Amino acid sequence: MKEKLIRKEVASMQLSKRSVELIEKDILPRAEALGCAVTTLSCGATVIDMGIHVPGSWEAGRLFTQVSLGGLGEVSFSRFCQGQVDLPAVAVTLPHPQEACLSSQFSSWKIKQTGSYRLYGFGSGPARAIARQDDVARMWHYRDSWHATALCVQTAEMPDNEIALEVSRACDVDPSRVYLLAATTGSLVGCIQICARMPEVALWGLAVNGFPLETVLGFDGYGVVAPCARDELLAMDRVNNSIFYGSYARLLVDCEDHAIERILPMMSFADTIHAGKTFGKLFEEANYNIYNMDLSVHKVAVCELNNLRSGRSFRTGSFNPDILYASFYGP
């Protein structure tokens, strides 16, 4: 009986339905107040500029992040106070992190190169759960289905018909029912939504290292929101340093302690050979191609697992406010 109830619950996640309702109820009617702008492409798709030619806002950043999570969980703001760094933080809580992160939030939908640096863009959101065309989406068994969907696009230029039609075809959705939310990396919305990616980073770390994902019951965490920057290369350095050195992820699990003890050394950036380096340095070493980078960099600063079964908590990693301060306030 319990197994059937769980299957029914997962089947009713409806990530695209949740996200589209959020867009149509909380974003479109308030676009101007949120610092956003709405346009319709010739193919019929709706593009919501949340940080390319518009300033966006903190609430727009929260909503963008919520859509990227498939409408699941809660996104809020707090403070990150470590050393000389005292800045806003974005907090995320999730009851269904597998669907929210692996099926939706993970930014594995490749977007064409844009901007003066010709950097690749990234897509995340519930369209991934319908298309299931990337390896991360297939790490979890959930498959979404809905007559409308959304993709959150990190890009230096406004999404066009090419991107909208790609989503339409991959998801078997009419172009007029495709929503594209767009923001640059260094915009306010971009900084918020990227610095809120500690759940996807943590879930991916569990998945690629063979942890039993079905034992994960919930997630909570936070990340320092990096200062905005028009320069996309500078912005990429800052937001990723936020993840490496200023993010915290805690997972509630129900398993044997030895499963946690095995995975723990693989969950923190501080435990990698790259600890102490900035993202900018690692990006340079990869010839400025993110797809050339060592996958082991995909880590949070601090990771904690609380085991419901034994009652024990396990923690690894550390914050590095000195690197954050140099990244955020240096020349």
Average pLDDT, the chain: 94
Residue 111: what pLDDT?
Answer: 85
pLDDT in the model for residue 23? 99
Q: At residue 276, does pLDDT exceed 70?
A: yes
Rounded average pLDDT over 122-138? 96
Render pLDDT for 20-29 as a digit per residue (tens, 0 to 9). 999 999 999 9
Give the pLDDT mean for 145-173. 97
Q: Beta strand pairing status for 178-183 and 46-51?
A: parallel
> What confidence score (pLDDT) does residue 2 get?
40
**Cα separation, 96 vs 77, whole angstroms:** 20
Q: How far apart are CA 56 and CA 232, in angstroms?
A: 17
The pLDDT value recorded for residue 121 is 80
CA–CA separation, 233 vs 145, rounded Å?
36
Evaluate if residue 9 carries a pLDDT over 80.
no
Token pair, residue 282, equals: 């690692």
- pLDDT at position 290: 83
Buried b or exposed e, range 1-37, using 16+ CB within 10 angstroms:
eeeeeeeeeeeebbbbbbbbebbeeebeeebeebbbb
Q: What is the pLDDT, as a whole number, of residue 8?
A: 40
Q: Which of the four pLDDT bands, split at 50, 70 and 90, describes residue 10?
A: low
Note the pLDDT tens digit of each residue in 175-228. Answer: 999 999 999 999 999 999 999 999 999 999 999 999 999 999 999 999 999 999
pLDDT value of residue 16: 98
Q: Are 198 and 71 in contact (CB under 8 A)?
A: no
Check residue 11 and give its pLDDT: 53
More confident position, 191 or 121:
191
Pairing assessment for the beta strands 302-307 and 247-253 based on DSSP bridges: parallel
User: For position 5, what pLDDT does the model report?
Assistant: 34
* pTM: predicted TM-score of the whole model, two decimal places: 0.95
Architecture of domain 2-329: 2-Layer Sandwich (3.30)
Backbone angles phi, psi at 93, to 5 degrees: -125, 140
More confident residue, 38 or 293: 38
